[in-house]
């Protein structure tokens, strides 16, 4: 499982609950199309966390980089039913930073023969 992380704040004037509803519509569309496995939105609590990470944290789980690429390609098409869903989220986010992590140890990992 690979996990794509987005750390961000919202643009000035954006209502947090409305953004969360827009994000849910977009993410659930990606789940229904099998472009992502699952997702989760979190918000910094009590101001704890690095300021440069922003106030929100989005985790998107995918079953490998091929699935993540499919999700990107769907959004990058900028057409059809996904475009207003993507715009409803992307247009409200500011100062975003991304990261990509994987489960560890990897399911294919073997031990005992490593040379480094």
Residue ranges of domains in the chain, CATH in brackets: 2-102 (3.30.70.100)
Phi/psi for 107 (5° steps) reads -60, -25
pTM score, whole prediction: 0.90
Q: Give the mean pLDDT of 46-64.
A: 94
Site of tokens 């091929």:
66
pLDDT tens digits, one per residue of 18-52:
999 999 999 999 999 999 999 999 999 998 888 89
Token code pair at residue 64: 């490998």
Q: How far apart are CA 80 and CA 103, in angstroms?
A: 33
CB-CB neighbours of 56 under 10 Å: 20
How does DSSP classify residue 7?
E
Across the beta sheet with 93-102, the strand order is: 38-43, 56-62, 2-10, 93-102
Q: How far apart are CA 46 and CA 48, in angstroms?
A: 5
Element containing residue 103 per DSSP (H, E): none
93-102 and 38-43: which strand pairing? unpaired
pLDDT tens digits, one per residue of 74-101:
999 999 999 999 999 999 999 999 999 9
Q: How far apart are CA 83 and CA 59, in angstroms?
A: 21
């Amino acid at each position: 499982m690979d996990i794509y992380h987005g750390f961000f704040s919202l643009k000035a004037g954006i209502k947090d609950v409305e953004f969360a509803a827009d994000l849910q519509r977009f993410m659930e569309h990606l789940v229904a199309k099998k472009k992502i496995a699952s997702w989760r939105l979190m918000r910094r609590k009590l101001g704890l966390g690095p300021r440069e990470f922003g106030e929100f944290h989005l985790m998107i789980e995918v079953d490998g980089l091929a699935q993540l690429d499919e999700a990107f390609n769907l959004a990058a098409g900028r057409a059809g039913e996904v475009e207003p869903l993507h715009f409803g989220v992307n247009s409200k986010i500011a100062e975003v930073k991304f990261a990509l992590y994987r489960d560890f140890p990897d399911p294919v990992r073997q031990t005992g023969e490593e040379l480094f």
